Amino acid sequence: MDERGASGGMARRSFLAAGLSGVVAVVLSSCTWGDEPVPTKAPTPGPTSTTPPSPVPRPTNMRRSAWGSDPYARGSFSFPEFGSTDAMRERLATPVGGRIVFAGEATSTAAPGTLDGARRSGLRAAGDIAGLAEPGERIAVIGAGMAGLTAARQLADDGFEVLVIEARERIGGRVESVQDDALGGTIELGTWFVPNDDDLLEAMASASVTTTTVGGDAAVYRNDGTPVAPSPVGVEALEQAHIWAGGQPHDVPVATALLGAGMIPMSETAGDDGVSPAAWLRHALASGLQPTTGASPTVVSAQQFDPTRMLGAFASEDDPYADIRLPAAPLSDLFTPLAEGLDLVLSSAVSRIAYDEQRVSLRLDTGESINVDRAVVTLPLGVLKTDQVRFEPALPRPQQHAIAQIGMGVVDVVWLAFEEPFWRADAAGEPDAAGSAAPAASLLSVVGDYPTVAFWIDAGVATGSGDPVLVGVIASTQATRLEQLSDQDFVAAVLVDLEPFATAGD
């Protein structure tokens, strides 16, 4: 199955690099929405402290991810860094010496950064190998995530001898389902939202992984706890920047495009809702662009980024979840039928991939060497960007360039359980004309400041379970910063972001 799109010309990144630092400096000096300042730690209340106690209760349980520092991921998913193109993803997917084929969401042009893109790439890689190999050849698949197991399953069904090598103690890659009854049952620390793709949903259904639409509504609060109606100002500014960038001869970052389109500086004068246009732009960036890409507007491509496909900005009057579903069963169940009957080697990281005209030789961190005829490499892009795996000879320049140019974003989640759902006090809104209460909010965000957490998902409302559980989505530089904190400091940092919801209506 080939899901490649038409190739585009490669942007001249070097042309932009010389002047970018000056442009971004102007942007950041004229508006305060750029890379967020690192907050200072609030003083701990004590006998002589005047700091009021937090209105947010302590959670009863917490789980969090750390994909950026995970040695087998080095990030959450790829994103369109400025200067990258779909042609680079295609080049990365091009077979190397007839022996190595890359797969993974970073090689997908149809659905990069998604579970569906990984699945499509696995099918494409299996087809490429089948076109190169002789019947009965031994194929190694490096990585037991969605791309690797999809490719391995297809190759095994086609009659090849397949060996799957996985560095982790489990299969699934960047999908991680964890059973935690204190958080309501199975939680997802990796991919949680599922795109509404028929082929992917069919594959999930065949593994008895059903999905449900996201329930509830979306709510935005000011810092003082006042609920406000979402404004389209920020998203409209991003759309204008996207249009402006499309008319330029070379790609630019979103930050530069906002400046070029005249969208910044924006007024800091509050409107009737008590929120300024500049604050709404910050909201669109912090709760929309960054969790969608895992990166800041200073590096995301203004030409490739689609501002109408953001999760979390809540600025559209249309249903923001029209194309999003939630798994009603552990996503990890999806991999069980794919792995059935395969020769799996777990807890074994590949440290060297040597190839010539005759074979591929793999060196494992256990000291073992394995020889195969060909290999499908599904290592995450973040790992390929490091020297964890050495290729001998070095990869061709087109693949090296693609690996260097395509961005790898960081998005983490934190699951918090509480005794009571304190944030739902005013989230249901006022009754309508017919006397019916507005639906409870399943997504919560704050406008007006730099949030640590891009937005919050009320898992009890989103899934219909009613459990007092919140899922925070943390992106870009905030995710990288928080990954370095202890659990105690991490919880203290994210609870501050819940104060507007705890004080709403006071």
Question: pLDDT of 36-89, one tens digit each?
Answer: 544 444 444 544 445 567 789 999 999 999 999 999 999 999 999 999 999 999
pLDDT band at 136; cut points 50, 70, 90? very high
SS3 call for 11: coil
For residue 207 the two structure tokens come to 């593994």
Average pLDDT over residues 306-325: 60
> By the 8 A CB rule, do 297 and 285 touch?
yes
CB atoms closer than 10 angstroms to residue 397: 9
Average pLDDT over residues 202-217: 81
Q: How far apart are CA 380 and CA 183, in angstroms?
A: 29
What pLDDT sits at residue 430? 42
pLDDT digits (tens, 9 = 90+) for 76-111: 999 999 999 999 999 999 999 999 999 999 999 999
Q: How far apart are CA 326 and CA 384, in angstroms?
A: 30
Instruction: Pick one of 3.30.830.10, 3.30.413.10, 3.60.15.10, 3.50.50.60 as the CATH number of 85-176+331-403.
Output: 3.50.50.60
The residue ranges of DSSP E strands in 24-176, in sequence order, are 61-64, 77-79, 100-102, 138-142, 161-165
Beta bridge partners of 81: 300
CATH fold match for the domains 53-67+215-327+410-502 and 85-176+331-403: no
For residue 117 the two structure tokens come to 């893109």
pLDDT digits (tens, 9 = 90+) for 343-385: 999 999 999 999 999 999 999 999 999 999 999 999 999 999 9
Angle (CA) 489 491 497, round 5°: 115
DSSP alpha helix (H) spans, 43-144? 86-93, 115-132
Sheet (strand 369-372) strand order:
369-372, 360-364, 350-355, 390-392
Pairing of strands 324-327, 194-195: antiparallel
Helix pair angle (115-132, 198-206), 10° resolution: 90
pLDDT digits (tens, 9 = 90+) for 106-131: 999 999 999 999 999 999 999 999 99
pTM of the model: 0.87
- Longest Cα–Cα distance of the chain, Å, equals 77
Pairing of strands 77-79, 407-409: antiparallel
CA distances to 1, 90, 434, 445, 497 from 227, rounded to whole Å, are 48, 45, 22, 10, 15
CB crowding 328-345: b at 16 or more within 10 Å, else e: eebbbbbbeebbeebebb
Domain 53-67+215-327+410-502 is of which CATH architecture?
Answer: Alpha-Beta Complex (3.90)
Domain ranges of the chain: 53-67+215-327+410-502, 85-176+331-403
